[in-house]
Amino acid sequence: MDLSSYVESLRRALAVAAQTEGADATSPTGQFAATLESAIRFTLLDALSTAAEEITEDLRPGSVDVRLRAGNPDFVVTPPRSEKPGGDATSTPEEEPLTSAVLSDEGPTARISLRMPESLKTRVDESAGREGLSANAWLVRVVANAVELEERRRRRAGGLRINEGHTGWAQ
């Protein structure tokens, strides 16, 4: 996705809005609009990154990431794993470490007592059956995925965002 046309359109609009009689590209107004280009670009990228994060929250366990390539945003979509029985089940790289970590854990098991409404228990049994798992194995996988996703979310939240810690603009 090329932001240049959007940035240029906004720069022109700002120049027109602030234009004084006889102003041209070399006037203070034109120079002001030109210096805003980087700030505008960073603001748009921040908006796109925020949108990608919101989409990812709804798409879990899939994800949408925004990456910069040659100064322009590029969207990378990782679809959620197929849940169809007998379907084309694919796993994302994000899921692979979790699966191997859970399967390779040969430590002692812990026993817990879990109480849930009968209607939810029925849904758990149906979901586990569709995937060819026992209810216990299915619950272990669901809990492990939830814990791993929370840890990843916490690690990502610790990163620096574009608009945090940087002010001004660059030319």
- Mean pLDDT, rounded, of the chain: 72
Q: What 3-state DSSP class applies to 74?
A: strand
Render pLDDT for 7-31 as a digit per residue (tens, 0 to 9). Answer: 777 777 777 766 654 555 566 666 7
CA dist., res. 78 & res. 147, Å (int): 20
pTM listed for this prediction: 0.38
From residue 81, alpha-carbon distances to 14, 62, 123, 134 in Å are: 45, 7, 20, 20
91 vs 120: which has the higher pLDDT = 120
The per-residue pLDDT for 1 is 58
* Nearest CA-CA partner of 162 in 6, 5, 34, 47: 47
The total number of structural domains in the chain stands at 1
Q: Which residues, other chains included, contact 67 with Cβ-Cβ below 8 Å and sequence gap of 6+?
A: 73, 74, 75, 76
Give the domain range for residue 20: 1-171
Contact 82, 88 (CB under 8 A): yes
